[in-house]
Amino acid sequence: MQSYLEVFINNLKVGEITLLANERNLFVFDDDYLAMKDKPILSQSFFDKSGEIIVQTKIVQTKLPPFFSNL
């Protein structure tokens, strides 16, 4: 069974953090959030140098992705 946490900005669902096997975590943006034209910014760390949102996130071991582990 996988466990997950939904990530929100106010009432807007931004994505989910899923706990995978072997204590790995993956954050995935919600498709509706990605489709929004003027979406609120979760963190600038999710944007590349050209200002485009980085959709492909990395699976991390034991801890959360850097933005979330610092909250």
Tens-place pLDDT, residues 7-63 = 999 999 999 999 888 888 899 999 999 999 999 999 888 889 998 898 888 888 767
C-alpha to C-alpha distance for 1 and 3, rounded to whole angstroms: 7
Examine the pLDDT at 4 and tell me if it is beyond 80.
yes
Phi then psi for 33, rounded to 5 degrees? -65, -45
- The pLDDT of residue 62: 65
Name 26's bridge partners.
18
> The whole model's pTM is what?
0.80
Name 20's bridge partners.
24
Name 8's bridge partners.
13
Nearest to 45 by CA among 70, 19, 16: 70
Q: Would you say 7 and 17 are in contact if contact means Cβ atoms under 8 Å apart?
A: yes
So where are the chain's domains? 3-64
